[in-house]
Structure 1
Amino acid sequence: MVFSSKKLSVAASLFTLALADPWPKRGLAANDDVPISQFSGSWNGHGSQVNWQYNWDSTTNQKQSWAEFIPMLWGTQSYHTTQWFDNAWYWINNGGSGHLLAFNEPEQGGQANLSPGDAANAWRQYMEPFYGHAQLGAPAVSNDGYNWISQFLQACSGCHIDFIPIHWYNDWTLENDFENWVNSICSLGGGRQVWITEFQAGGTIDQQSTFLRSAIPFLDNNPCVYRYSYFGTADNSKVLLQNGGPALSPLGVQYTFSPYGSGNGPN
């Protein structure tokens, strides 16, 4: 882990998390119109492993009392940047947020669409001012972005980057590819934490369940991985919800209530 000095409130919250060994890593990537209120509590005596949320935006209207909200600067368009500082400072100072996310899949033309050099300049302008107040994430590339994130880390070598978020989408049979992708970023990151802020296996619900039975133990037991969120509470994928929610689907129960280090679901 790469830590820097923090405001007392942030440091205290991180210390509280560290008291629980192991502590939950699971989160939700959830658009605000997708209900997530039932990803808490317990199921058959097993407590929820979900303790953080984000929504690809820098503020939310469905902050859950049991989850840390992570603001994101999705891209460098003015409708993102003009509200960024006010929203990020609000959530750091008033909302209990201790982390910030930056730039969604900048290697892709249909997403944030930034060169590594332009992203480094924007990161210094919009993320670096929060150094010492929150843990700061690099741009989040998908599993086509190894070269992009390598070049970004070189271009932003003087930046105070605490963790590297990544995504992964592939067939459910390629769980080994998922593990290799995560481990490659762990090696690239020079000791930084890695977050998997989006990942989903292609296949039927039963096939995705099989994938998670292997992926969750790998992620929970990997000391480089600090947090992860399965893609299933978004407008274009609600596989963790039953008929759109708020009730959880069987896959949602498996993801939420599988004990730490086990992907087999609550027994």
Structure 2
Amino acid sequence: MVFSSKKLSIAASLFTLALADPWPKRGLAANDDIPISQFGGSYNGHGSQVNWQYNWDSTTSQKQSWAEFVPMLWGTQSYHTTQWFDNAWYWINNGGSGHLLAFNEPELGSQANLSPGDAANAWRQYMEPFYGHAQLGAPAVSNDGYNWISQFLQACSGCHIDFIPIHWYNDWTLEADFENWVNSICSLGGGRQVWITEFQALGNADQEATFLRSAIPFLDNNPCVYRYSYFGTADNGKDLLQNGGPSLSSLGIQYAFSPYGSGSV
């Protein structure tokens, strides 16, 4: 099936009306070797709030039946771009995907490493062709990237950017800083919705749980936020899993099964 922006909007509206709760926002940033099957289903009568996944790549070997896979063009290296169009069109036309992500932390030399102008040119080449077939994301900056994303949005002013993904990493005591960061991008985006595709409170498990008890209600109740994924199902971070999975840690249970608008199971 080919999705258009209009079809996506109508489908989302109809599906939302069919749910007792608003549309779930939670997702997983999960490398393919990380088991995520137990994030679906239910726990003690609470249904999972996780309904999308991505893996920093443009295809996956562990698509979950209960989650939309969102392809990502991590960077402009040839080993990403040569497979990008085939993979993205496959997931849009055959895999039920209706969104695409672009360029991971391009403000950092250790990540996608692109200037705002170069990223805008690459976005036009690799993302713009999907306009009308999927919802398209801007590059995803971390919480050091406000100036970068501001410059990118100016450089790509004619681009059909539907949403802005961002990241946040900071101490668990700084939940107010997290809210301010999200709200600042909501204000910058000119009406675009925001995805938080990586975020993590730095602390022990109990401290992370305390952070999520405040962060989840903020995100679920913020109309600017369309989706979010807590960092904890990756090769370099497994906080949502018990001993590497597939069983969930107490933090993973809290994240997946806390009811919409609540940070506690």
CA contact (8 A) 1:57 1:74 kept: yes
Q: Are the aligned partners of 1:10 and 1:98 in contact in 2 as well (CA < 8 Å)?
A: no
SS of 1:238's equivalent in the other structure is: coil
- C-alpha RMSD over aligned residues: 2.6
Cα distance in 2, alignment partners of residues 141 and 224 from structure 1:
17
The answer as to 2:125 corresponding to 1:148 is no
Please give the secondary structure, in 2, of the residue aligned with 1:7.
helix
Task: Tell me the SS of whatever aligns to 1:195.
Answer: strand
**Structure 2: distance between partners of 1:151 and 1:9:** 28
Please state whether the residue corresponding to 2:167 is helix, strand or coil: strand
Judge conservation of contact 1:164–1:193 (CA < 8 Å) in 2. yes
How far apart in 1 are the matches of 2:90 and 2:249? 34
> Does the CA-based 8 Å contact 2:99-2:137 persist in structure 1?
yes
- Distance in 2 (alpha carbons) for counterparts of 1:2 and 1:207: 43
Q: Structure 1 residues 221 and 16 mapped into 2: Cα distance closer, same or farther (>3 Å)? A: closer
Give the structure-1-normalised TM-score.
0.94
**Contact (CA 8 Å) 2:69, 2:97: kept in 1 or not?**
yes
Query: Structure 1 CA distance, aligned partners of 2:128 and 2:43?
Result: 41
Whole-angstrom distance in 1 between the partners of 2:200 and 2:4 = 32
* Residues 7 and 132, structure 1, Cα contact 8 Å, conserved in 2: no
Q: Indicate the residue corresponding to 1:194 in structure 2.
A: 194
Q: 1:168, 1:178 within 8 Å by CA — same for their partners in 2?
A: yes
Which 4+ residue blocks in structure 1 deviate beyond 6 angstroms?
Answer: 1-4
> Equivalents in 2 of 1:14, 1:158: separation in Å?
30
Secondary structure in 2 aligned to 1:139?
Answer: strand
Deviation for aligned residue 1:72: 0.1
Counterparts of 1:161 and 1:19 in 2: how far apart (Å)?
28
Displacement of 1:23 after TM fit?
1.2
Deviation of 1:5 after TM superposition, in Å, equals 3.7
| TM-score normalised per structure 2 | 0.95
Unaligned runs of 5+ in 2: none
2:106 and 2:139 in contact (8 A); partners too: yes
Q: Which string of whole-angstrom CA distances, capped at 9 and with x for unpartnered residues, describes residues 44-97 of structure 1?
A: 100000000000000000000000000000000000000000000000000000
Cα distance change, pair 167–241 in 1 and its aligned pair in 2 (3 A): same
Q: 1:71 to 1:10 in 2, by over 3 A?
A: farther
Does the CA-based 8 Å contact 2:39-2:248 persist in structure 1?
A: yes
- Shift, 1:4, TM fit: 6.8
Render the CA deviation track for 1:71-126: whole Å, top value 9, x for unaligned.
00000000000000000000000000000000000000000000000000000000
Per-residue deviation, residues 160-180 of structure 1 (Å, max 9, x unmatched):
000000000000000000000
**2:16 touches 2:23 (CA, 8 Å); kept in 1?**
no
Q: CA deviation at 1:11?
A: 4.7
Distance 1:179 1:91, change over 3 A: same
Residues 138 and 164 in structure 1, CA contact (< 8 A), matched pair in contact too: yes
1:175–1:12: structure 2 CA closer, same or farther, 3 Å change rule?
Answer: closer
Contact between 1:2 and 1:193, CA under 8 Å: does it hold in 2? no
Write out per-residue CA displacement over residues 198-256 of structure 1, whole angstroms, 9 at most, x where no aligned residue. Answer: 00000000000000000000000000000000000000000000000000000000000
Aligned residues: 264
Distance 2:12 2:163 in 1: 19
Distance 1:50 1:5, change over 3 A: closer
- 1:12 Cα deviation after fit: 7.1
